[in-house]
Amino acid sequence: MRTTRKGLLWLTSICAALMLLPSPSRSQQTAASPLSEDNLSPSEFSAILKEAWTFLKEETDNHKKTIRERLEFETTAEFAKRIVQARQRYLANIMKYVKDKKFDQRVLGVLVRASLVHYDADNEIYAVTCPTVLDAPYNIPSILTDVPNNPYVALADSVKMGYRTSSIYLKFTPSFRWRVGRDVAKAAKADEGDVFFKLRFKVQMGQGDGKREARFSIAPQQILFINQKTNTTYWQQSLR
């Protein structure tokens, strides 16, 4: 009987202690889902590029002003030392921005609309084009802006109505040849409004090539041909 009472007292103590423990907060119970960056519109993607490139340009311009000339009461050795220190600060600021914006981790997926032009039923080949281009930053004397060489995605500068522009485009010649059976081709045509190319990029910022202070690289990682309505990937290719 004494043992039973001791057991009941012990159990009651444990229950009371558990009731005093703090309950988990809502954030602990359900972690917030991260924002998806895998289905960006062309305008959203271009806005991210513009913001990052503008930061790099401003940092580069400030760095150039800092080391433009030797100060009146500065020795040659002191000037040389100041240039080295300024360069270190400049690169550190860029790396901090990259870390803060998580560009070392982020992969940006942008959707560009596909146009199903013509199906060759004899050879089961669909000619597909992509009329959409993505607004992108352009090259300036101090910053090399580039899309690393690959089979499908390129960067081109042009002048429209007197203004210089830069665009990322798909370099099909003249169209993407999609090998596909007739039934799937018919279904895709019926869903043409939901058929896209998805381009996945990493933004890389850092030191230039010697001729230019900095490099802004829009590096393609993957290209996919998809149907968003049916969540189908018709074709994909790594570009890394």
Decide if 165 contacts 135 (C-beta within 8 A): yes
Is the pLDDT at 161 greater than 80? The verdict is no
Strand, coil or helix: 128: strand
pTM: predicted TM-score of the whole model, two decimal places: 0.81
118-159: per-residue pLDDT in tens?
999 999 999 999 999 999 998 899 999 999 999 999 999 877
List the single range of 31-40, 65-74, 210-219 with lowest mean pLDDT: 31-40
Is the pLDDT at 54 greater than 90? The verdict is yes
| Beta strand spans in 139-194 (E) | 143-146, 153-160, 163-170, 176-179
Distance, CA of 121 to CA of 124 (rounded, Å): 5
User: pLDDT averaged over the chain?
Assistant: 86
> So what's the pLDDT on residue 33?
38
> So what's the pLDDT on residue 85?
95
> So what's the pLDDT on residue 18?
34
Distance, CA of 199 to CA of 30 (rounded, Å): 31
Any long-range contacts for 61-69 (C-beta under 8 Å, 24+ apart)? 61/142, 62/90, 63/87, 63/90, 63/213, 64/142, 64/213
> So what's the pLDDT on residue 36?
62
Backbone angles phi, psi at 30, to 5 degrees: -135, 105
> So what's the pLDDT on residue 210?
74
163-187: per-residue pLDDT in tens?
788 999 999 989 999 999 999 999 9
Is the pLDDT at 13 greater than 60? The verdict is no
